[in-house]
Amino acid sequence: MTQQVVAASVFPGFFPTPPPGRCKCPRANRFTASSPTHKNGLLRVLHSSVHPLGLAFAPIPPYPHPPPAVDLLITNPEDEPFLRDEILRSSPTTRIETVAPGSLATQGLLDAPSPPLLAFARQILPHATPATAPSINAWVERLAATLAPLRTHPHPWRLHVWPRYGQGRAGQQRAQWIVKGLHEWLGRHHRALRRNLDPATSPFPPSHTLLQLTLTAPDLGFLSLTPAPHPHHLQPLLSTFPAGEVPVAVDKSAPSRAFAKLVEAEARLGLAIAPGQSCVDLGASPGSWSYVALRRGATVTAVDRSPLRADLMAHPRLRFHPGDAFSYHPTQPVDWLICDVIAAPRRSIQLLHHWLSNRWCRRFIVTVKFKGSADYPELDPVKHWLPTLSSAFLLTRLCANRNEVCIAGVAAHLPDTAS
Ligand SMILES: C[S@@+](CC[C@H](N)C(=O)[O-])C[C@H]1O[C@@H](n2cnc3c(N)ncnc32)[C@H](O)[C@@H]1O
């Protein structure tokens, strides 16, 4: 039965088969069996690895032969087909398997010298291995065991633990208990390691390692240790926020909810609009992006055919430029281009390329809006020129985006005037 199940997976041998002789229970020969009616191969296989008496495999780590690692890509469950298409457009022979809703396992994709930009991947777990643990303490022990390389070579590290199952708070609470349990374990056993745990969500410095655990069920998950300096190098794909989910506080004073896109893009980029900086806001009405920039202390040139909310129009640091966003250009380089204009994807992409080629902005946050999904491949050429025209960049569907993608970054080759 187990043979059949493993063969059903696109990654033969991926499933962590229990080592012989570990379980003395008379039902041991049954606990890797899976229903012959299973549909979503690997996910069910992983579930079936739990002992029927709830004991799982004790003691916890390690398997004599660790299961092979996969690169796990996390997306919105509804974006899964688009992420699959995007992966296959960049790497047609890549094997892909769904291991949990919105969690795709691939192999080899992130090992390339420059891994593909994937707009629909919200988070990645490089070289992730499946893991089982029957209790919070067992998860803590698994995480502690995974941290072994940091005990011998102490350096800063970050920790992301998050659930990928259920609808309610139970998964979140379990993740929080695991994090708390690990803190306590480190306090008892390895204070230096606890001191080196960095809770920040700023961009990964080259010195930092990242440990991630995503729970696909209370007792199942994937562990990924990304050693320094890889989190830094993988920054366009690897979010500094657990699960790639950026918390943005509600701001009821903003003209619309669009403010959340700009705030999330800043957080994801690790770079915020600063006092005294200059911003051009294209497609600015009713004014939520300008509102955020003004609150940050910037001066704003807002371009739109329609005026912004009255209080913003009267703001001393806002200049309204009525007219076409695509024909506007600044008289001198500005600190930020922010653009949320409604236009065909190709036009917004060309606009950004034009601004970067002409060195009109030092930093940029641009929304590309879609109707349906047929135009998603228009993002592919961006993946080639964006790294040449910018030094730090993102191409991602933000949590606050609807049928949109955000391109953000720091322009290459322009002196930075920001304080
Ligand atoms: C989604 S709204 C922008 C919302 C804005 N970012 C905010 O936070 O309030 C898109 C805006 O693009 C403007 N727009 C569309 N085409 C334009 C064009 N060619 N030139 C200038 N503005 C344009 C529309 O008038 C609309 O106000």
Per-residue model confidence as pLDDT tens digits over 33-75: 233 333 333 333 333 333 222 223 334 344 345 567 899 999 9
- Whether 285 is in the pocket of ligand 1, judged by its Cβ within 6 Å, is yes
Nearest to 175 by CA among 140, 199, 147, 210: 140
Encode 109-139: b = buried (16+ Cβ within 10 Å), e = exposed.
Answer: bbeeeebbbbbbbbbbbbbbbbbbbbbbebb
Q: Does the beta carbon of 326 sit less than 6 angstroms from any atom of ligand 1?
A: yes
Give CATH for domain 259-411. Answer: 3.40.50.150
Q: What residues does 210 pair with on adjacent strands?
A: 158, 226
Which of 140, 167, 364 minimizes the C-alpha distance to 273? Answer: 364
Distance 417 CA to ligand 1 centre (A): 28
Residue whose CB lies within 8 A of the most ligand 1 atoms, among 285, 309, 369, 402, for a mutation test: 285
Rounding to the nearest 10 degrees, give the CA dihedral for residues 125, 130, 134, 139: -40
* CATH of the domain spanning 26-244: 3.30.2130
Q: Ligand 1: which of 305, 318, 321 to mutate, judged by most atoms within 8 Å of the beta carbon?
A: 305
Which of the four pLDDT bands, split at 50, 70 and 90, describes residue 6?
Answer: very low
Q: What angle do CA 229, 270, 200 make, to 5 degrees?
A: 65
Q: What is the pLDDT of residue 152?
A: 85
Q: Which residue's CA is the closest to the ligand 1 atom numbered 16? A: 342
Most confident stretch, 9-18, 276-285, 410-419: 276-285
CA 150, distance to chain mean position in Å, is 24
pLDDT of 272: 97
**Hey, how many other C-beta atoms are within 10 angstroms of the C-beta on 56?**
19
Q: Extract the tokens encoding 215.
A: 């729970």
Could you give the 3-state DSSP secondary structure of residue 20? coil
248 lines ligand 1 (CB under 6 A): no
Residue 257 pLDDT: 96
CA of residue 288 to ligand 1 center, whole Å: 11
- pLDDT tens digit string along 265-304? 999 999 999 999 999 999 999 999 999 999 999 999 999 9
Ligand 1 touching residue 256 (CB < 6 A): yes
Confidence of residue 177 (pLDDT cuts 50, 70, 90): very high
Mean pLDDT of the region 211-222 = 96
Asked whether the predicted pLDDT for residue 318 surpasses 90, the reply is: yes
Residue in 213, 43, 15 with CA at minimum distance from that of residue 133: 213
Output the pLDDT for position 181. Answer: 98
Q: Do domains 26-244 and 259-411 have the same CATH topology?
A: no
| Residue listed under structure tokens 């995480």 | 143
Tell me the per-residue pLDDT of 110-128, one tens digit each, with 9 for 90 and over: 888 889 999 999 999 999 9
Residue 324 CB less than 6 A away from ligand 1: yes
Distance, CA of 122 to CA of 404 (rounded, Å):
13
Phi–psi pair at 163, nearest 5 degrees: -90, 155
Q: Which amino acid is at 211?
A: L
- According to the model, what pLDDT value does residue 151 have? 87
For 324-375, how does the pLDDT look when each residue is reduced to its tens digit (9 = 90+)? 999 999 999 999 999 999 999 999 999 999 999 999 999 999 999 999 999 9
Domain boundaries, the chain: 26-244, 259-411
pLDDT at 19: 39
User: From the CB of 304, is ligand 1 less than 6 Å away?
Assistant: yes
Listed range (115-119, 166-170, 230-234, 348-352) with the worst mean pLDDT: 166-170
Is the CB–ligand 1 distance for residue 110 below 6 Å? no
Assess whether the C-beta atom of 55 lies below 6 angstroms from ligand 1: no
Q: What token pair was written down for 385?
A: 């020129």
Q: What is the pLDDT of residue 154?
A: 87
Q: Is 298 in the pocket of ligand 1 (CB under 6 A)?
A: no
**What average pLDDT score do residues 186-190 get?**
95
